[in-house]
Amino acid sequence: MFAEHGYHGVSVGELCAACGVSGPALYRHFASKSAVLAEMLVAISDRLLVEGRSRVAAARERADRTAALTAAVGWHVEFALDNPDLIVVQERDWAALLDDARDQVRRLQRRYVEVWVEELRRLRPELEPAVARARVQATFGLLNSTPHSARIGRSAMAGLLERMAMAALLAN
């Protein structure tokens, strides 16, 4: 509902009706509508970080030098294609988060960026950390555009995004 109507376009009553619960039931689990949004965005960020770390660690075992970075890219492409609504909410409703939740999401996001930066700098050690970080964040912009750009089949789009992301990250 947040993706379709925006955080401010959805009432607590509408959330409760969509979930099949009463207002008091919702408030037993969440202090406010803002807490629902915070839980969603914190959970997204945590999931990206945990799974990203896991896939990178597993890929490091392979002989291919680019396997870990490729695994990180593949994970994010998979997430973006499977969860376009979550990306829309993250982009559009970020400002509705309370400061504590915004700080928590930012901390998780920074850790996720650093997973990518570390892998990129393994392949391109000459890159200054700030440059590597800028490449990673620009690549996220590309990958997170999928709610607006995924106009071909899922498999074709995944392949296209993976190739474009690796090219952007490793470009000279």
Q: CA 119 to CA 91: how far, in whole Å?
A: 25
Asked whether residue 121 is assigned to any structural domain, the reply reads yes
Domain of residue 50: give its range.
Answer: 33-170
Asked whether residue 25 is assigned to any structural domain, the reply reads no
Q: How many domains does the chain have?
A: 1
What is the overall mean pLDDT for the chain? 92
On the question of pLDDT at 112 being above 80, the answer is yes
Region label for 32, one of left (φ > 0), alpha (ψ between -120 and 50) or beta (otherwise): beta
Model's pTM, two decimal places? 0.89
The 10s digit of each residue's pLDDT in 6-29 is 888 988 888 888 888 887 787 888
Asked whether residue 4 is assigned to any structural domain, the reply reads no
pLDDT of residue 150: 67
Compute the half-sphere exposure of residue 45: CA atoms within 13 Å on the CB side of its CA: 23
The 10s digit of each residue's pLDDT in 50-108 is 999 999 999 998 878 999 999 999 999 999 999 999 999 998 898 899 999 999 999 99
Asked whether residue 88 is assigned to any structural domain, the reply reads yes
Q: CA 23 to CA 12: how far, in whole Å?
A: 7
Asked whether residue 158 is assigned to any structural domain, the reply reads yes
Asked whether residue 13 is assigned to any structural domain, the reply reads no
Asked whether residue 130 is assigned to any structural domain, the reply reads yes
CATH number of the domain that 40 lies in? Answer: 1.10.357.10
- Cα maximum dimension of the chain: 57
Q: CA 57 to CA 51: how far, in whole Å?
A: 10
Asked whether residue 14 is assigned to any structural domain, the reply reads no
